[in-house]
Structures are given as structure tokens and as C-alpha cells.
A and B are shown apart, each in its own frame.
Chain A
Amino acid sequence: RKEVEQDPGPFNVPEGATVAFNCTYSNSASQSFFWYRQDCRKEPKLLMSVYSSGNEDGRFTAQLNRASQYISLLIRDSKLSDSATYLCVVISSNTGKLIFGQGTTLQVKP
């Protein structure tokens, strides 16, 4: 079983749609969680940190469920510019390394 698992998609949604991505992690001792966004042939960029209390940044909401060991990202009112690959990232509590999920591809269509 992979340490961090994501549905690779692709998710094809119309503009204005709400879309949700989930990610599961296997190490219950993991402490830090992030969503990164990566555009084609570009570097990953930090989108949001994820906290147990949940956090929201405009149209984006991230949630952490420690009991079930999953992280979610909700995007409301999707824009064409949201098309990208979204990487779920967990910091290993043992080594401090970033453990990446495989990424979920989102394609927002007009």
C-alpha cells in the first residue's frame, strides 16, 4: 500500500462546478499535510496547509480527518485557471520527508 494515495482522475468538470479531491495516508503519526498545485511543465506550488480544524482560502477548503486518515480539498465555482494537477503531500513523522501522492488531474472546461 502506498503511503499517500490519491485518485489520479482526470476530473473533467464544467466551469462553476464544485469538485472535491480526497487523499488517504497510511502513517497515523504523520503531523503535517499540504495540498500543492502543479501546472504542466511547471514546479509544484503550495496551495494550502491542512489543519484538523479545516481551513479555507477563498474558493478552496481543505479538511483533515485524523481518525480516518484522509485529507480533502474542495474547490467551489471552478475556473478554467484551476486546471492543473493537485498533489496531496504528507510529511513523514519518522524522517521529515515530503511524501507525495500521485496527483489528481483536474480539467475545467468552458
Chain B
Amino acid sequence: DTEVTQTPKHLVMGMTNKKSLKCEQHMGHRAMYWYKQKAKKPPELMFVYSYEKLSINESVPSRFSPECPNSSLLNLHLHALQPEDSALYLCASSQERRWARGSDEQFFGPGTRLTVL
């Protein structure tokens, strides 16, 4: 099973709402990632979890709060977002962060398309 799943597929929220995005993988991967992608741009890294610990935060505003409850699950909690936060939010996973020794392919979920009104 080489699948990363994400829910919901689409989300529309107001600027005062609180919502959460969910990501799940059952490939035994120990690294999980959140990316944000705007139209016609490549994905931008937001957060990296390695062995369930936050290892990289790319200076993301605090209105985005990641959580890794266990090795298979990754959440992104959203609060007080702005319209410019509307984007495709992609979750990815990889076997482990052993880039120094070779390939470390990341597998992406289908994404959550978020619209902030």
C-alpha cells in the first residue's frame, strides 16, 4: 500500500473558524511533511516531522499548528486564517530522513483544497 490519504478533499472556512486537516499513511514511513501549494507554483514546505517530533518549521505563522499523534497520522490545525492562505495543502511521507545516504522519495497525498473567505 503506497498511499497517503488526506481529509477533507475540499474545505471552505471563514476567517474566524477553527478547522483541522488530516493525513494518514500506513507505509511505515517515519517522516511526514506539510506543504502549501498555490496555483502554478511548486509546493512550499511548511513543516517536517521525523519520528513523530517536529524537526522543521519553515517560519510558518502560528495560525497553522501541526500535530503528529502517532507515526501514521499528521494533523494541521487551522485558526484565524486569512484569504491569502487559500491554497492546496499537501501531506507527504517518506521512509526516513536519511538523505545523506541516497534517495528518500516522498509520496504525496491528494491534498486538501482550502478556501478562506
Contacts and interface: CB of A to CB of B under 8 A. Distances in A.
Residue picked from A34, A49, A97, A101, most chain B C-beta under 10 Å: A97
A26 interface: no
A97 B45 contact: yes
B90 A43 contact: yes
A96 B42 contact: no
Contact of B111 (A32, A43, A87): A43
Interface stretch (B12-20, B70-78, B100-108): B100-108
B107 A31 contact: no
Contact of B45 (A46, A87, A98, A102): A98
Nearest to A42: B110
* Size bracket, chain A contacts: 20 to 34
Interface in B3-48: 41-43, 45, 48
A101 B42 contact: yes
A13 interface: no
B111 A96 contact: no
A44 B43 contact: yes
B50 to A, nearest CB: 9
Contact of B105 (A46, A87, A95, A103): A46
Interface string B65-106: 000000000000000000000001010000001011011111
A96 B105 CA distance: 11
- Top 5 closest pairs, chain A to chain B, by CB: A100-B42, A43-B108, A96-B99, A91-B99, A32-B103
Interface of B: 41-43, 45, 48, 56, 88, 90, 97, 99-100, 102-111, 113
18 contacts: A31-B102, A32-B99, A32-B104, A43-B108, A44-B43, A46-B106, A46-B107, A91-B103, A92-B99, A95-B56, A96-B100, A96-B104, A97-B45, A98-B43, A100-B42, A100-B43, A101-B42, A102-B42
